[in-house]
């Protein structure tokens, strides 16, 4: 009787586990994206104005064989755009050539890329009150308004405020940010007084200025990155009617995040402004106040 029970138990075990076929997962045919086509529609472009109407706006449309998504890269900033349709507002005043790279992504991580160059005209005459606010019509010095909540913040790249995180008053007093001063001159130059150190993200700082023997904190930041005072040129533009302050070279405000070194002026009054810059894939917000 026991032998029969053991046999039945063994038979049940064999039936259960014998019926479990090994599952296999396949991607199907892995095909690298090819035949990438990039169409750049410069707003206002026609036979008489081949470089656009001066707004600086360009609509990009990308197609490709075997692509499931796309990534756009401009000025070191990467953005995932599954639709393949992306609008850039180029804000540098005058006629300039811009380089945009598109990566077409396929299954199983395969990809191809293509780069296009577009000549775009941007025209802008900043309002007198903006020049007066920024420079005092001669020279004016600014600082981050560290004594208020939200003087530094984080949000999506398309946000108009720091909806993800905002610093409390004096929350970053252990960094080198609060003693920095930014003097804007009416001749288009800005002098950044650093007192020897700046605050910023470790990756863009190292990529742009080299390894200076610093150890990043838990947020991948250098709280005191050695940096001398410098002078850089600035200009104002208004792509898509958004007032924007841009620096030549690597000029920046408050917290270094790389990107295109442009700052949208989200709001402003006579002595104060909130700005946003895009870097490390996020929107970074700062409130600045005039010192004099």
Res. 120: pLDDT tops 80: yes
**169-201 pLDDT tens trace:** 999 999 999 999 999 999 999 999 999 999 999
Q: Same structural domain for residues 267 and 141?
A: yes
Q: Same structural domain for residues 111 and 157?
A: no
Indicate the SS3 state at residue 1: coil
Q: Same structural domain for residues 114 and 156?
A: no
Range of the domain at 172: 128-290
Residue 170 vs residues 86, 148, 176, 291, 292: alpha-carbon distances, Å: 38, 7, 12, 17, 21
pLDDT grade, residue 61 (50/70/90)? very high
Q: Same structural domain for residues 147 and 284?
A: yes
Residue 14: exposed, middle, or buried by beta-carbon count in 10 A (0-12, 13-18, 19+)?
exposed
Single pTM value for the model: 0.72
Res. 31: pLDDT tops 80: yes
Phi, psi of 269 (to 5 degrees): -130, -170
Domain boundary among 105, 122, 139: 122
DSSP 55: B
Please tell me the distance from the alpha carbon of residue 108 to that of residue 30, in angstroms, as a whole number: 7
Whether 190 is covered by a domain: the verdict is yes
Q: Same structural domain for residues 52 and 71?
A: yes
Counted domains in the chain:
2
Q: The tokens 């008489």 sit on which residue?
A: 48
Domain boundary among 70, 97, 122: 122
Q: Same structural domain for residues 116 and 134?
A: no
Whether 12 is covered by a domain: the verdict is no
Whether 16 is covered by a domain: the verdict is no
What element of type H or E holds 7?
helix 2-18
CB count in 10 Å sphere of residue 226: 14
Q: Same structural domain for residues 144 and 266?
A: yes
Return the bridge partners of 118, or none: 98
Whether 9 is covered by a domain: the verdict is no
Q: Same structural domain for residues 89 and 156?
A: no
pLDDT grade, residue 23 (50/70/90)? low
Q: Is 8 or 248 the better-scoring residue by pLDDT? A: 248
Average pLDDT over residues 44-61: 94
Q: Same structural domain for residues 279 and 142?
A: yes
As a whole number, the mean pLDDT across the chain is 90
Strands (E) in 75-159, as ranges, are: 77-80, 85-89, 94-105, 111-122, 139-144, 152-155
Residue 263 belongs to domain with CATH number = 2.40.128
Per-residue confidence (pLDDT) for residue 26, from 0 to 100: 55
Q: Token pair for residue 192?
A: 């950044």
Q: Same structural domain for residues 133 and 271?
A: yes
Q: Same structural domain for residues 195 and 261?
A: yes
Whether 205 is covered by a domain: the verdict is yes
């Amino acid at each position: 009787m026991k032998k029969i029970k053991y046999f039945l138990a063994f038979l049940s075990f064999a039936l259960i586990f014998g019926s479990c076929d090994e599952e296999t997962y396949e991607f199907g045919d892995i095909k690298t994206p090819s035949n990438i086509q990039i169409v750049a529609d410069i707003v206002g472009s026609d036979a008489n104005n081949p470089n656009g109407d001066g707004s600086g706006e360009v609509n990009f449309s990308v197609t490709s064989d075997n692509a499931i998504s796309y990534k756009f890269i401009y000025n070191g900033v990467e953005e995932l755009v599954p639709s393949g349709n992306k609008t850039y507002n180029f804000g540098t005043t005058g006629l300039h050539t811009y380089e945009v790279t598109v990566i077409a992504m396929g299954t199983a991580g395969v990809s191809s890329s293509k780069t296009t160059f577009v000549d775009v005209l941007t025209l802008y005459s900043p309002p007198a009150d903006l020049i007066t606010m920024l420079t005092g019509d001669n020279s004016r010095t600014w600082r981050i308004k560290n004594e208020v909540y939200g003087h530094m913040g984080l949000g999506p790249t398309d946000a108009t405020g720091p909806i993800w995180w905002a610093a409390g008053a004096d929350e970053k007093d252990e960094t080198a940010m609060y003693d920095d001063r930014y003097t804007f001159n009416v001749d288009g130059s800005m002098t950044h007084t650093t007192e020897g150190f700046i605050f910023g993200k470790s990756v863009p700082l190292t990529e742009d200025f080299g390894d200076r023997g610093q150890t990043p904190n838990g947020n991948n930041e250098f709280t005191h990155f050695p940096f001398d005072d410098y002078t850089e040129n600035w200009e104002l533009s208004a792509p898509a009617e958004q007032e924007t302050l841009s620096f030549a070279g690597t000029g920046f405000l408050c917290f270094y995040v790389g990107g295109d070194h442009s700052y949208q002026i989200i709001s402003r009054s006579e002595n104060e402004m909130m700005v946003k810059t895009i870097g490390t894939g996020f929107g970074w917000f700062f409130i600045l106040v005039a010192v004099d």
